[in-house]
Chain A
Amino acid sequence: MRYFILIAKGLGRNKKRTLLTALAITVALFLFSTLQTFLTAMDGAVEVLGDSRLISRNAVSLIFPLPISYLEKIAQVPGVADVSYGNWFGGEYQDRPQTFFAKFAVEPESYLRAYPEVTLAPEAREAFAKERTACIVGERLAEEFGWKVDDDVMVSGTIYPGDWNFTIRGIYTAKRGFDIRTMLFQWKYLDEGMPPGLQGAVGFYIITLADPAGAPRVAAAIDALFENSSAQTLTETEKAFQEGFNVMLGNMKALVTVIGLAVVFAMMLVAANTMIMAGRERTREIAVLKALGFDDGLCQRLLLAESVTIALGGGVLGTVVAKVLYQATGFTMGGWFPAFNVEWSTVLAGLGIAVATGVVSGYFPARRARRLRIVDALRNVG
């Protein structure tokens, strides 16, 4: 602590440079936190899903439907406790078409049975089941759009053409893992709006298992049931289903990682370069300190401490701002993730990177300070 004054004054020597260097590290660490959270959120979205539910969809692709007639057959497969179904709707909310959120047409009662993690008021549950144009929305979505129960919402179909009018009958909450930025409405409303030839099409079935251990057997039994039909099924656990999405995003994930890390690395180099320059300007002072009796190791530690302080300052700002900002704004990356929270482990990793940056960028000026010969330094500048 007795040398604190030297470190503090050293940092304040060129306030603008110190601030800009710390800010460069702030930006780098903010980016790192965002990137890391993106990756953990992707993995986390999978992890919270259990193996107690299966998703059955068209074996060719998710965009091809399955007939509604499969419902009864799937329900009869041994090990199946319950079956629900739904369709991805797409569509744009008329008032804010640029803002994306997921919309699903589902069978209300069986869907809410399949997802007990969803909490909905009894009257809302009843209205959702009975009224054809009723919809329920997640609390975050309602908050974002300022929606209340009984508000009317119009959505323009993109996959299913036309304007679709809904009345919000409930706002649901949910435990972690279930998206609270989603809109759910009656599958029958969608089905009745379709031309006769296209009716009875289901995007996916949600199968609740009597025993999660039986998942592989039940999935195989369902797929075997429709093996010789025109619409074969691909049944997998909800977790595997989500992972399938993530695999499709795999290249993007790698690309984002590489670009992000390159930016972080570039900013670290900028910081290191600045610190080396700052160290070089101190040649005379280091020589004077040594002449006064500061030993080589102490001079080295003083410069390292300055460097680590700048980097750690920037790191704390970058990581903590990311954590607070994403939490306070309820950022979901355009609704892609149910939650986008910077974990404390990410903050700690960021601070670790900041300290490492401080040590690495301070290493060369500190080593130079250690090796500096007093007479040479004083001769060069005097």
Chain B
Amino acid sequence: MAEKIVEISALSKHYLRDGFDIPVLDGISLTIDKGDFYALMGPSGSGKTTLLNLIGGLDRPNSGTIRVAGEEISRLSSKELARWRSRSIGFIFQLYNLIPVLTALQNVEMPLLLTKLSKADRRKRALLALDIVGLADRADHSPRQLSGGQEQRVAIARAFVSDPAILLADEPTGDLDAASAKEILILLKRLNAEHGKTIVMVTHDPHAAEAASKSVHLDKGVLTK
């Protein structure tokens, strides 16, 4: 039986906006096994990014439980949650979110600053991660000197450099041209297949979702299939 890496039960989230209570997720239950490549699909406003944020510990639910990588994260304090994120989660954002003043290598090294690794080891691991995404030769380049696809690959290297339990990607191809998007999806598939990384990817693009091995659909805060 596969090890469960994400266990979500009766999860609800709503926001208060201008005095109105807006439900976003309504009693969601979902289990993701270790090594899965899941696509979270749904139209805009369906709650898929909110669900991803909750899995990544970036936000807190109003009710329900989320157990990720063996930790019941809704009970963790802000500091504990940050420490847990650094160990267990790698984020890939739609807009890459690289730090513009750092080189590609320094960007990838960033999560390793929170570990006890020496400077030499950090550098070695960051270079290895860049090598995996095919950008070892661009280590000293700043994000401005990279194309969108290359920036996203650096962001992916940053996401897995600390060997987290799960990679969370929010529309990772949403800001890329078709060719670059294809490269990114191939890379994610490789990380899943060859390196055994569990990936949860939010996308509204059916082509992107095809890269995943499983998919779930959200509509108005409810899982539909």
Contacts and interface: CB of A to CB of B under 8 A. Distances in A.
B144 interface: no
Interface residues of A, number: 25
B127 to A, nearest CB: 16
Contact of B58 (A3, A289, A291): A291
Interface string B96-130: 01011110001000110110000100000000000
Contact of B110 (A12, A292, A297, A375): A292
Contacts of B86: 292-294
Interface string B187-218: 00000000000000000000000000000000
Contact of B82 (A285, A288, A290, A375): A290
Given A292-B114, A374-B58, A12 B97 contact: no
A2 interface: yes
Contact of B87 (A289, A293, A373, A378): A293
Given A293-B114, A375-B59, A9 B82 contact: no
Contacts of A297: 79
B180 interface: no
Contacts, number: 66
A338 B134 CA distance: 70
Nearest to B53: A375
Does more than half of chain A's interface fall in helix, strand or loop, or is it mixed?
helix
A291 B164 CA distance: 13
Contact of A291 (B87, B91, B100, B114): B91
B102 A9 contact: yes
B94 interface: yes
A284 B98 CA distance: 10
A2 B113 contact: yes
Contacts of B114: 292-294
Nearest to A6: B113
B99 A292 contact: no
A295 B83 contact: yes
B93 interface: yes
A2 B93 CA distance: 25
29 contacts: A2-B113, A3-B113, A5-B102, A5-B106, A9-B99, A9-B106, A285-B97, A288-B97, A288-B99, A290-B82, A291-B58, A291-B85, A292-B111, A292-B158, A293-B84, A293-B85, A293-B87, A293-B89, A293-B114, A294-B82, A295-B79, A296-B78, A373-B59, A375-B53, A375-B58, A375-B59, A378-B58, A378-B97, A382-B93
